[in-house]
Amino acid sequence: MNTTTTRNAMPPRFRRPSPIAWAIGLGFFAFFIQGIIAADMTIGRLIAGAGNLVRFLGQAMPPDYSGAGGIASAMLETLNIAIVGVTFGCLFSVPLGLLAARNTTPNRVVHAVARLVIAIARTIPDLIWALIFVVTVGLGPLAGILAIIMDTIGLAARFYSERFEEVSDGPSQALTSTGAGRISVIFGAVIPESFASMTAVSLFSVEKAIRSAVTLGLVGAGGIGVELSTAMRLFRYDEAAAVILSILVVVIGFEQLSSAIRRRIIGGAGAMG
């Protein structure tokens, strides 16, 4: 009896891979080797790159903060792009998420169209959105804000819709039994139950937007990326180091702030539950 129980408790052994699994594994290995060859990844290049990295760090240190005023102004513009873009992106994501969630959408066609819009926003990278909006509205922060809006919709609307689908049926059914309409059920049961998760995703979107806004500046969409690109092109590595360290301080600072807000909101929601 004990022998049988022990035998049943043993973990399953590896099975011999099927021919399809072997083919997939060999294909992946071949693609991996082809990638290394295409990148011309050699020991000589890596050693030379390490030497260049040391030379870059030597020229970048100490950072040159003589242009601190310009860096602060560009960083403020970056934060403006991130905050404005994420705010509009999250506001647009709420109705899109409701239309994309199966339990709150009016019909399947609207559900499919909303899912398609979210998929398009998520599939195209933020840098590509920035290039598109630089062409359409010109250089500057507006192109960056529009790019952040689309990038935020791709992230937030998807998570909102998934959270809406996870809400328990009890509160919604209770409101429906009292004669409440669809809108009343959404604002009386679905959104209040999802609010903590929506806030956490929105804060994460701001963190992501700050990092994205830096790279958007490299293509002319405003922000501190312009300062960084200019310093690198002029080989002013000490000025570039000052910009990079400033970005690092702001990103880490906001991550700590958003983590504290998330803990407070999620903890408060847990205490209420």
pLDDT in tens, the chain (273 residues): 455 555 556 666 667 778 888 899 999 999 888 888 888 777 888 888 888 888 888 877 888 888 778 888 888 888 888 888 888 988 998 888 888 888 888 788 888 888 898 888 888 888 888 888 888 888 878 888 888 898 888 888 888 888 888 877 777 777 777 777 777 777 777 778 788 788 888 888 888 888 777 777 777 777 777 778 788 888 888 888 888 888 888 888 888 887 787 777 766 555 444
| C-alpha dist (Å) from residue 155 to 7, 119, 201 | 47, 9, 8
Q: Return the exposure string of 75-88: e unless at least 16 CB atoms fall within 10 Å of the residue's CB, then b.
A: bebbbbbbbbbbbb
DSSP state of 41: -
CB 207 within 8 A of CB 258: yes
19 preceded by a cis bond (ω within 30 of 0): no
Q: What is the CA radius of gyration of the chain?
A: 25
**Overall fold of domain 67-265:** MetI-like fold (1.10.3720)
DSSP state of 73: H
Residue 206 token pair? 């701001």
Residue 75 token pair? 């960083």
Segments making up each domain of the chain, as ranges: 67-265
Query: Closest by alpha carbon to 83, among 239, 218, 258?
Result: 258
d(CA 81, CA 216): 10
Residue with tokens 């002013």: 236
d(CA 227, CA 244): 10
Residue with tokens 């310009």: 70
User: What is the reported pTM?
Assistant: 0.73
Q: Read off the amino acid at residue 108.
A: R
Q: How far is CA 60 from the centre of its chain?
A: 30
CB 191 within 8 A of CB 125: no
